[in-house]
Amino acid sequence: MELKQKGEEANVGGFNQLMVSMKWTTAADFDLAAAYESKEGKHGLVYFGELGDLNAFPYMQLSGDEGVGDTGGDNEETMRITKLDDMKYVWILCWDYGKVKDGAAARFKDSDVMLTIMDDKGTGHDVTLDTGDMGNVALLATIDNSSPIGAKLVNTSKAGTLKGLNKLQDLIDVING
């Protein structure tokens, strides 16, 4: 199922594992990341500097870092999520590392970033970045697990600007902004 436009959503409840895959060929040092809010209100971030853990909270793990130094070609980063029970929200993010360091705008509009979220039953959801907003960090999708009915995946498609990766609160402000 494709979520091509901002606001489109699909149910993703009832899985044992989600595989989040971000691919791009653009010559840019894009990074896949996930910020989260637990049902107890704890915030955190899984990214290249904190790869996470599948066997302990937050039950998410990133594969590593690709495209370093603005390398073009078949770049792919993957993140596995094994449990959403404790999560209220998981925000799937992409940032252009070089541009975040400088506080400059990224090249999202000229890139081919594609996000695929696949569950362990073989159901996949492709999320297309649908924003012309300037920024160096893009919120691609939100997994909203705040309803007792189950988790849903939403194409959130919005961008914001960070200068450095020093404060999680700055990233949360972009998400909520």
The pLDDT tens digits along the chain (177 residues) read 788 888 888 888 777 789 999 998 888 888 999 999 999 999 999 998 899 999 999 999 999 776 666 667 788 999 999 988 889 999 999 988 888 888 888 877 778 888 999 988 888 899 888 776 778 888 899 999 998 888 899 988 888 888 766 677 777 777 777
| Residue 45: predicted pLDDT | 92
Contact 30, 75 (CB under 8 A): yes
Tally of domains in the chain: 1
Predicted confidence at residue 67, as pLDDT, reads: 62
Residue type present at position 56 = A
This prediction's pTM: 0.87
Q: For position 69, what pLDDT does the model report?
A: 65
**Domain of residue 39, CATH code:** 2.60.60.30
Computed from CA positions of residues 88, 170, 114, 154, in that sequence, does the dihedral angle turn out positive or negative? positive
Q: Which domain holds residue 8?
A: 2-176
Nearest CA to 2 out of 139, 174, 127 is that of: 127
Element (H, E) at 43: strand 43-46
